[in-house]
Amino acid sequence: MPASPVYRVTLEHFEGPLDLLLFLIQRAEVDVYDIPIARITDQYLEFLDAMQALDLDIAGEFILMAATLMAIKSRLLLPTPVLDEEGEIADPRAELVRQLVEYRRFRAASEHLGKLWEERRGIRGRGSAAALPEAPEPELEVGLFALISAYRRVLDQASVRAAARPRIAVEPVRIEDRVRLIRAWIGRRPRLRLSELLVEAKSRIEVIVTFMAILELVRLGEIGVRQPDLFADLYLQRKGEGDGRA
């Protein structure tokens, strides 16, 4: 793996295993109270593989959650259902669902408080509201797992393109070089479409290293990743640039 220890990204700067599960549940458009464990477990393990490919320092809690999901999946496959203390059929997913619902409620409250703080901070010194242009529709600030989802899609596309090309020697790609390239692009324009950055990728390694560079710049707080809506293309944006369009 062409990774430099200097650029190893730790997940404490991003999100945890419950965030990943909620992301997968939202993407699959399923009810949190009726999680299709087999499908979500497979997708969770695929994400762990992608995170390892990106040289992310996966915390033990992600591995523990993987073990929990596989244990629940195994219990659901038992020919005889497990009964609780009252003789009722016990749902092996119940404790996980409780954790997810509680965490989702806590996260929603935290996000609401954050928005209130941003609104209050924006009111100060803003001047006459009548003089302001109409505010654009807010975009979504996406996190690590939306990036990894995009990474997996791009990697599949890069594999198809690479297979169609004649075999040629590929020059080594360094994370430091990709970090400098992204900084240069973002320095010339406030927003950069992710697909523009990756369209010329010549190999899987180039896609992987480019994403590692993006994660490093996100970790350093130099760029954010935004999305106009849930299924739209991702944009890289200089921090502090607001919602301006490139």
Low-confidence winner among 32-41, 66-75, 107-116 (lowest mean pLDDT): 107-116
What are the structure tokens assigned to 159, written together? Answer: 């594999």
In terms of DSSP H, where are the helices of 54-141?
60-76, 94-123
Instruction: Catalogue all structural domains in the chain, each as residue range(s) with its CATH number.
Output: 1-122 (no CATH), 140-240 (1.10.10.580)
Q: What is the mean pLDDT of the chain?
A: 77
* pLDDT for the residue numbered 68: 95
* 232, β-bridge pairs: none
Cβ contacts of residue 113 below 8 Å, gap of 6+?
none
Residues in the chain: 246
Please, what sign has the CA dihedral across residues 24, 29, 33, 35?
Answer: negative
Q: What is the DSSP string of 161-178?
A: HHHHSPP-PPPP--HHHH
d(CA 129, CA 81): 62
Checking 130-138 for CB contacts under 8 A at 24+ apart, the result is 136/243, 137/228, 138/243
C-alpha closest to that of 198 among 216, 211, 185, 188? 211
* pLDDT for the residue numbered 244: 44
CA 246 to chain centre: 23
Contact call for residues 197 and 178 (beta carbons, < 8 A):
no
* pLDDT for the residue numbered 160: 55
Q: What percent of the chain has pLDDT over 90?
A: 24
pTM over 0.85: no
Q: pLDDT tens, 176-186?
A: 998 998 999 88
* pLDDT for the residue numbered 148: 86
Low-confidence winner among 59-63, 121-125, 177-181 (lowest mean pLDDT): 121-125
Instruction: Give the mean model confidence (pLDDT) for residues 3-32.
Output: 72
Phi and psi, residue 143, nearest 5°: -105, -165
d(CA 9, CA 7): 6
d(CA 218, CA 14): 9
